[in-house]
Amino acid sequence: MKKITQIAFAFAFALFLISCKNTKQKIQEHVSTYNNSSSIKGHGITSTAAKAFLNDNKIEIRIETNLEETDENRAAYKDSFPDLLREMIKNDQISTELINEGVSFDVYFLAYNNAILAQQLVNKEELAVLEGTAEPNKETAKL
């Protein structure tokens, strides 16, 4: 009986190890899920896509719009972009689990001609800022 218990435990442990995913596998799965099911609603947004950079532990998200590249649009979306990022975090389009594993999300908000209206790298530090849990007086990335 003791031998059967040991064999069963060893088999269960082996199954557990096989079923664990590493960070690169999680990145690929997140990008695939994002591209197959994500939709971001908002003024002028036409499409969105994610791309994995496995060697850099980075996911790039491009949000394409039909907006013109103007100073007014840049200013407007620079101010509203953090709210969009918070919504993406809430909807798990930006994964806090992956960020906690060292993955960064480089998010671009693009005009119709692919000019950057707003851009943000979301990593552990910026996640804390967006969630309001950052240490006071700590330098963080700016838009």
Taking the domains of the chain in order of start, what are their residue ranges?
21-131
All residues at 6 or more sequence positions from 37 whose CB lies less than 8 Å from its CB, including other chains: none
Alpha-helical regions (H) of the chain: 2-19, 23-37, 71-90, 96-100, 124-131
**pLDDT tens digits, the chain, 143 residues: what are they?**
777 887 877 767 665 655 677 889 899 999 999 999 877 777 788 999 999 998 899 999 999 999 999 999 899 888 889 999 999 999 999 999 999 999 999 999 999 999 999 999 999 999 988 888 766 555 545 44
The pLDDT of residue 44: 82
- Classify residue 72 as exposed, middle or buried by CB count within 10 Å of its CB (0-12, 13-18, 19+): exposed
CATH of domain 21-131: 3.30.300.250
What tokens does 140 get? 């963080």
pLDDT of residue 139: 53
Please state, in angstroms and rounded to a whole number, the distance separating the CA atoms of residues 9 and 87.
Answer: 43
pLDDT for the residue numbered 96? 93
pLDDT of residue 143: 46
Closest CA to 61 of 108, 19, 101: 108
Predicted pLDDT of residue 41: 75
Largest Cα–Cα distance in the chain?
Answer: 76
Q: Residue 34 has what pLDDT?
A: 93
pLDDT of residue 39: 77
